[in-house]
Amino acid sequence: MPQLPDFPVSHLSILESVKDAVFATDLTGKVFYVNKAAEKLFKYQPGELLGKDIGIIFPPGLRHERKKLIENILWGEQIENYETERIDKGKRTLYVSINLSPLTDEKGKLIGVTKVLRDITGKKRSEGKFQALLESAPDAMVIVNKFGQIVLVNAQTEKLFGYGRASLVGQEVEKLIPSRYSHHHAGHRKNFFENPKTREMGAGLELFGIRKDGSEFPVEISLSPLKIEDGLFVSAAIRDISSRKKSEAKFKGLLESAPDAMVIVDKKGLIQLVNAQTEILFEYNREEIIGQKVEILIPDRFKGVHTPHRKNFFAEPRARAMGAGLELYGIKKNGSEFPVEISLSPIETEEGLLVSAAIRDITDQKKAAGELKEYAERLENSNKELEQFAYVASHDLQEPLRKIQLFAGRIIDLEDRTLSKKAKSYFSLMQGAANRMHTLIEDLLAFSRMQGSDNEFEKIDIKTLIEEEISAFEVTIREKNAVIEVGELCEVNIITFQFRQLIHNLISNALKFSRPGESPHIRISNKMEKGRNLGLKDLQPDVNYCQITVKDNGIGFDEKYSKKLFELFHRLHSNDEYPGTGIGLAIVKKIVDNHYGFISVKSKLNKGTTFDLYIPDNHK
Amino acid sequence: MENTPLRILLTDDDEDDRLIFKEILEKMDIHTVVETANNGIELMDILTEPNRQLPHMLFLDLNMPYKDGLSCLKEIRSNEKFNDITITIYSTSTSQDDIDKTFRNGANIYITKPGNYNVLKRVLAKAVSQTHLKQDTTFNRSNFLLKI
């Protein structure tokens, strides 16, 4: 049992009343005094610790601390608020803050050490809560002291930068920054500590972090000052914005690859973003127009109306064409104007509602449309001229011909007795030639009349029309003993005077090209059918067609000529066999075309010919 | 009445046609007096001459210089003074459009000039006799339409 020094009782009772644990040891570490608070904290019986080595309260991993602390005391130093861990009798860890003081005798000789331990487990626990809070943050959190040393990081930081926690704590925070920025960073850091307030780091700048493996990535950082007992710290929340940057890049790529000039404007009418097409079209560099009012791209005379329109758009934002039906113009940097087409779309962004305007230069389109119109007019004019020409030519050709016929007739009449037989036969040949030419001109005139464009359609029952046309052939029908059968016929949408000519020509042909010694038999019939059911590829499937069939038992022809048959002046027979001009079927074809219809022909030599007409019930 | 000649005025720019026309009319059984005008302007001058006896019958070519037949027709039919004149269109045109248009504007007879002399004779005789027949009756000329 060691000798107790002579302490006044009153002093001891003071120590016993203290809340902190107080130990006194000799220089070997043997405990010669503990207060009640110490026994309570470390869960020992009263007196149980007396005479024991102080090492009993050190955790096994911290034995080395003891030597270090004693050395400091021997050198006359004090140790204050040293935070560490100790264990109680049940080996449970306690967090403590320790103050060590040398213990001297009356002469000032060092005889031992006084330890005052304060239980800081509660404080540590709240630090743990703080850590948990840090861990639950979605961003990488790095807490830095005013020397720029990392004091705390969370798991996100480890994950993001690829470092273990232990290799970051105590390091300079510049370890996480690419070297080209780290120099500036240290300066900025000092500035922050001088004027600490929550803010974004490097607003408007592109920031990067660097991983353990040296790879960089774009980040966004927000800074907050953290004032605690131990002093001022800064907490940095670091967010990896790689994917956002990627989608931004995608958006920019999309913007740049757009065929139109794209101008993105904010609510105030300021240009936020433009693409390369905009630079080309308006001949500005993007730096010159970004941040400017969008009206810089609009001719002066439209500016007055544009501003209220822009405000209306933001009031009711929806994708639409600008100024539908109006002629819009843009203005280049050099002041020249050009016609444009503009479509607007609202874009919701973090910075608020924006509007994207896709602007297309329609100069070429307008020019082409103008040219097309001009061509159409010219074509129409030349068609009219041609029509006029055909008419006038035929008419004026007719005149002298009629005179030849007339005066030849006069001569035969007057000189009937004096003319020789031969002269008379020449006269009749001359008259025959003149008659043929007359027919030719008449037919040409008829053909030229079919070119008319202002044809009026009407829906009529064609049975009467056909019967009227048949009656015009009364004489021929009687002569040839012909039979013409007309089946039930329906109403057809036709240009009446043209259709009359068409029927006339078909009947005329059927009567003319009859087989010698055989009475002509002609059948005219029709039916109404949808285009799809008629088996002709040229017909529109959903349109109703009136199919009119004209079938004869005449001489027919070789079907290899069926295409040529409808060409102007094309004939399959000599004049001696069957006189004609080769215009009749050309007229028929022309009339069918004018009715937006189709004609086809089937024939067998010496068996007969069948014409099928397909006239649409309605044409648009 | 038998002795009152039928006054006929032919307007045609074609000299040959005027010649043949006169020749045929002279040989006709019906007594006629034929005058000619070379174009529309001459025709209108003759018709509006003061104290002039108006023709009973007018033959009007369509295609003429200075003033064509259709304009003459419209002008004549818009003047009540000429209500009693039978107007015959005498043209080479076979166009249905021309036929319709002239009838709509008050023509009574439409003749397409034939190439054959004998046919021409027959056609003119028909037109003249039809007009002659109706000459002295109170006849509503606006309902008289004949296409030959």
B14 in reach of chain A (CB within 8 A)? yes
Question: Tell me, what's the pLDDT at A1?
Answer: 45
Contact A395 B93 (CB under 8 A): yes
**Could you give the angle at which helices B117-134 and A363-414 cross, rounded to 10 degrees?**
90
Q: Which of A413, A435, A442 sits opposite B117 (nearest CB)?
A: A413
Contact B115 A401 (CB under 8 A): yes
Question: Tell me, what's the pLDDT at A462?
Answer: 86
Instruction: Please report the DSSP string for chain B in residue order.
Output: -TTSPEEEEEE-S-HHHHHHHHHHHHHSSS-EEEEEESSHHHHHHHHHSTTPPPPSEEEE-SS-SSS-HHHHHHHHHT-GGGTT-EEEEEES---HHHHHHHHHTT--EEEEPPSSHHHHHHHHHHHHHHHHHHTTS---GGG--EE-
Average pLDDT across each block of 10 residues of chain A; the chain has 620 residues. List them in order. Answer: 55 83 90 91 90 89 82 80 87 89 86 89 76 83 87 89 86 89 82 83 81 92 83 88 86 86 91 91 91 91 86 84 81 92 86 88 90 91 79 77 87 88 87 84 78 75 87 88 86 86 91 89 89 82 89 89 81 77 87 90 90 85
- Which residues of A fall within a CB distance of 8 Å from B115? 401-402, 405-406, 409, 434-435, 438
Other C-beta atoms lying within 10 Å of the C-beta of residue B122: 14
Closest CA to A534 of A599, A489, A486: A599
Q: The tokens 């030349």 sit on which residue?
A: A382
How far is residue A377's CA from residue A383's CA, in Å, rounded to a whole number?
Answer: 10
Name residues whose C-beta falls within 8 Å of residue A356's C-beta, 6 or more positions apart in sequence.
A262, A263, A264, A265, A344, A345, A346, A347
Region B26-47 average pLDDT: 91
Amino acid A465 reads: L
Q: Are A140 and A160 in contact (CB under 8 A)?
A: yes
Q: The tokens 């025959």 sit on which residue?
A: A432
ipTM surpassing 0.90: no
Q: How far is CA A572 from the centre of its chain?
A: 61
Question: Tell me, what's the pLDDT at A453?
Answer: 58
Contact B115 A449 (CB under 8 A): no
Give the chain A residue whose CA is nearest to the CA of B115: A402
Contact A406 B92 (CB under 8 A): no
Q: How far apart are the first and last CA of chain B?
A: 27
- Which residues of A fall within a CB distance of 8 Å from B20? 406, 410
How far is residue A548's CA from residue A528's CA, in Å, rounded to a whole number?
Answer: 9
How far is residue A583's CA from residue A500's CA, in Å, rounded to a whole number?
Answer: 16
Give the chain B residue whose CA is nearest to the CA of A439: B115
Highest mean pLDDT among A488-492, A540-544, B35-39, B131-135: B35-39
How far is residue A226's CA from residue A231's CA, in Å, rounded to a whole number?
Answer: 8
Q: Number of H helices and number of E strands within chain A?
A: 16, 24
Q: Which of B93, B96, B117 sits opposite A406 (nearest CB)?
A: B117
Question: Tell me, what's the pLDDT at A340?
Answer: 92
Q: Which one of B90, B91, B94 makes the best mutation probe of the A interface by having the most chain A beta carbons within 10 Å? A: B94
Residue-wise pLDDT tens digits, B99-111: 889 999 999 999 9
How far is residue A540's CA from residue A543's CA, in Å, rounded to a whole number?
Answer: 6
How far is residue A353's CA from residue B54's CA, in Å, rounded to a whole number?
Answer: 89
Task: Calculate how close chain A gets to B90, using CA atoms only, in Å.
Answer: 13
Q: Which of B96, B97, B113 sits opposite A402 (nearest CB)?
A: B113
Q: CB pairs below 8 Å between A and B: how many?
A: 38
Q: Give the helix/strand (H/E) hosting A22.
A: strand A21-26
B92 in reach of chain A (CB within 8 A)? yes
Task: Calculate how close chain A gets to B119, using CA atoms only, in Å.
Answer: 10
The torsion angles phi and psi of A166, rounded to 5 degrees, stand at: -65, -30
* Residue A562 or B28, more confident: B28
How far is residue A555's CA from residue A360's CA, in Å, rounded to a whole number?
Answer: 64
Closest CA to A519 of A492, A479, A550: A479
Please state, for a pLDDT cut of 70, what percent of chain B lies above it: 91
